[in-house]
Amino acid sequence: MKWQEVRELFPNQFVLLSVLDYHEENGKKIIDEVAPILSISSENANKEFFKVKPGNIVYHTSNERCIVHIRKDPLLRARRI
In this prediction the pTM is 0.79
What distance in Å separates the CA atoms of residue 77 and residue 71, rounded to the nearest whole number? 11
The pLDDT tens digits for 22-38 are 999 988 999 999 999 99
H helix runs in 1-81, sequence order: 3-9, 45-50
Other C-beta atoms closer than 10 Å to the C-beta of 74 total: 7
pLDDT at site 27: 87
Q: Is the pLDDT score of 47 beyond 80?
A: yes
